[in-house]
Amino acid sequence: MRLPTVVGLLALSWTIAATTSTQGLYDLVKRRLPSHCGDFHFVLFEQITPYNSSELQNDQYAIRTWNGSITIEGNTLSALATGFRRYFTDVAHTDLYWFIGNRLEDAASILPRPNRTITGKSIVPWRYYFNTVTFSYTSPFWSWKDWEYQLDWMALHGINLPLAWVGFEKILLEVFREVNLTDVEIFPFFSGPAFQAWNRFGNIQGSWNGSLPLDFIESQSLLQQKILTRMLELGMTPILPAFTGFVPSALPHVYANATIVNGSRWEDFPLEYTNTTFLEPSDPLFSELQDRVINKQIEYYGNITQFYTLDQYNENDPFSGDLDYLRNVTRGTWQSLKSANPAAVWVMQGWLFTSNADFWTNERIEAYLSGVETDADMLILDLFSESQPQWQRTNSYYGKPWIWNELHGYGGNMGLYGQIDNVTTNPIEALKNSSDLVGFGLTPEGLEGNEIMYALLLDQAWQSSSIDTAQYFQDWTHNRYAGNNSLPDGLYTSWELLRTSAYNNTNLKSNAVPKAIFELAPNITGLTNRTGHHPTSINYNPAAVVSAWQNMYQSATQDPRLWENPSYKHDFVDITRQVYSNAFLAQYQIFIKAWNSSFTNSTNITQTAILTTQVSTLETLLSSLDAVLLTLPQFSLSTWIDSARSLAPANNSAIADFYEFNARNQITLWGPDGEINDYASKSWGGLVGEYYLPRWKALLGYLLTTGPRGYDAMAARAGVKRVEEGFQIPGSGIGMGKGEPLILKEPNPGADCCVPEDHADF
């Protein structure tokens, strides 16, 4: 790929922006590679298309050696940052990563110079990042240090259009105060840190363990100012929140004539926490509040963006399905945005068309989108493009610009998973078939692993043909562990096995990161072979992951230095976690089959011994896994809890307890009474041993007492195949519903693989 304009200009003259415009990149080098600050020279050429033009332009960069420096030239700051990372991945053979941290320091002490000019050009102008719920599932308790690292990762991976939700409650609080609502009326509207995303979406209101502290609102506002400053320094255009229409329920008391409707009940939450109050966009007050919100942000942050995120019907249907009503909702919302900021572009997640597809017929979608009468004033995120794309059925969203996104996982679930073919082929095909496609992006609900899948799509945004994933995984392995050193062949074999198994799902009925069944409320039915958004089915031969584990383990016996490598330790624990998860699933199926058969052989003492042994195996799997996970902080519950408690002012244990409750509730009950129980479950050390294991011990112990020797009480009301009345262990939340089948399907082929014999070495 050539850059004749950029490279040619070098030979003639250097038409560059002010030196200080690249200062953010020099600061990045100083943060991540302080011993090599003098090795890099960034050259920012003026764009061929002016910044204030409505014509979108792809980014481009060139890397070469000039006057002894590693010179990176480009037409945007994002292009320069991407070129900087490209130098490290292609020349110095290292990178920086989630959880593992900065590995750029592993490059040679004398950085190698490129022996040729390396060029790159994006195939889409925008590279988008974040899902609204990521700010609750992953980053609600992040410090500036966490954000600083994440922002550097984003810049180096070419992201130039990220969501920026942090601190929005400060804006709302001040606006609501200005329209004469009191703090007593406002604060019950806000939700706790781990649940703010759904408050912002209008799904829930309030908090079920106390009020959101004012100190949190103030500190998050200060954090947002740091985040936005850094985004701009690194060439990103932030997407700021707009006023959605969701308001405290006291608003009608102040504005008696306001046009108010209530949202639908979300996920069976108690009405006091849902059924939120929605101010119709047709009401003049809506435009007034929009103007206050937009201008309040301009006052705080400056006029830094034209993009505003605004979602009004996330998993809630509109008040009416009438086409004129839908059209008027968007027209009123759009007009309020344009009145507040004439340059405003409305950014909307297209998730509603997926989650509530029964309501959103094509006719209704077209009517709803037609309310924005200028197509360029809206940008739609096709949120789950790799599995449930909506752009085809909506004729590319009826002319609105849109972005192809990889959602990948729900609630921060942690299974090894990917769709390498869909992520590398489908966006390229979409680009050929839709002139309205303007970007690729990442929209995961939570960032809990599988980093290679996210890097893959971001790298695809700079390549016009589908990436060769075999070569990509090999290069990933080399850069992740070795830098310029040699590696045991077993590591390459491990990642090739993962590429062709866990990362090659083609069964889109099971279309996201899988959940370990031990994270679910224990039961004798309904746990296996789940598909959809939280699958438990395994769509590959589990023996392949065991083989990957064995090759990885053997590699460290050949090169013991790997045990000191943070990348290796992280991946070894992560793959071990998956091996144990798969083994638990297989052993559970064996146990249930044996337990079912025990009802026809009630006096067989040998059968009782077999069941007891199987129960011991299941419990040992969980206790052993817990010990493995606790070896690294990124796999430990304490990291999540400590980050939550650290937000409290010094010596204020009550507020620290409030944050900890939020943190614990989200990953367990998710709601005051378990409304979305185990949705955001995690395979974390401490959570496995202290929460999941006791639940399973309760069920398994109960089942042993109802087996061959002591099953009479249960057998009196249970047939071989069905429980007629159902049962529940008091206080445990564990049981089986009336009429549920006892007999499960046979285990999947290959699912009876066992934990590697070496597991005791942990």
What are the structural domain ranges in the chain?
A: 4-121, 126-467, 518-534+586-636+684-761
Tokens representing 14? 């250097």
Classify 678 in phi/psi space as left (phi over 0), alpha (psi -120 to 50) or beta: left
What is the reported pLDDT for 264? 84
| CATH classification code of 126-467 | 3.20.20.80
Angle, helix 469-481 to helix 566-598, in steps of 10 degrees: 120
C-alpha–C-alpha distance, residues 443 and 348, integer Å? 12
User: Do residues 87 and 113 make contact, with C-beta atoms less than 8 angstroms apart?
Assistant: no
| Amino acid sitting at position 693 | L
Single out the residue of 471, 376, 389, 472 nearest to residue 431, CA to CA.
389
Q: Which strands, in side-by-side order, build the sheet including 246-247?
A: 246-247, 277-279, 260-262
Query: Residue 210 and residue 655: Cα distance in Å, rounded?
Result: 9
Question: Which stretches of the chain drop beneath a pLDDT of 50?
Answer: 1-20, 48-53, 708-762
Q: How far apart are the first and last CA of the chain?
A: 48
Contact 555, 488 (CB under 8 A): yes
* CA–CA separation, 314 and 199 (whole Å): 11
Strand-strand pairing, 402-406 and 378-382: parallel
Q: What's the gap between Cα 634 and its chain centre?
A: 16
**Which residues touch 151 (CB under 8 Å, ≥6 apart)?**
227, 230, 231, 234, 236
As a whole number of angstroms, the distance between CA 109 and CA 658 comes to: 47
Residue 474: other Cβ atoms inside 10 A: 16
Question: Cβ contacts of residue 91 below 8 Å, gap of 6+?
Answer: 63, 112, 113, 114, 118
Burial of 716 (0-12, 13-18, 19+ CB in 10 A): exposed
Give phi and psi for 225, each to the nearest 5.
Answer: -65, -40
Separation of alpha carbons 142 and 149, rounded Å: 11
Report helix, strand or coil for 194: helix
Please tell me whether residue 474 adopts helix, strand or coil conformation.
helix
Fold of 4-121: Chitobiase; domain 2 (3.30.379)
The answer to pTM > 0.85 is yes
The partner residues of 60 in beta bridges, in order of sequence, read 121
What is the model's pLDDT at position 605? 67
The neighbouring-strand residues paired with 72 are 42, 63
- pLDDT, residue 707, reads 61
Residue 685 DSSP SS3: strand
pLDDT (0 to 100) of residue 485: 83
Q: How far is CA 250 from CA 175, 176, 246, 477, in A?
A: 14, 11, 12, 56
Give Cβ neighbours of residue 486 (< 8 Å, ≥ 6 apart): none
Number of residues written out for the chain? 762
DSSP class of residue 745 equals P
Indicate the residue type of 697: K
User: How remote is the C-alpha of 113 from its chain's centroid?
Assistant: 36
What integer pLDDT is reported at residue 398 of this predicted model? 97
E strand or H helix at 41:
strand 40-44
Closest C-alpha among 215, 224, 172, 207 to residue 656: 215
**Secondary structure E strands in 429-491:** 437-442
Q: How far apart are CA 693 and CA 291, in angstroms?
A: 52
Q: Which amino acid is located at 703 in the chain?
A: L
CB 297 within 8 A of CB 324: no
In Å, how far from its chain's centre is CA 222? 24
Per DSSP (E only), the strands in 58-204 are 60-66, 69-74, 96-97, 101-102, 118-121, 126-129, 161-162
Question: In whole angstroms, what is the distance from residue 708 CA to residue 727 CA?
Answer: 18
CB 332 within 8 Å of CB 286: yes
For residue 607, what pLDDT is reported? 80
Total Cβ atoms within 10 A of residue 193: 24
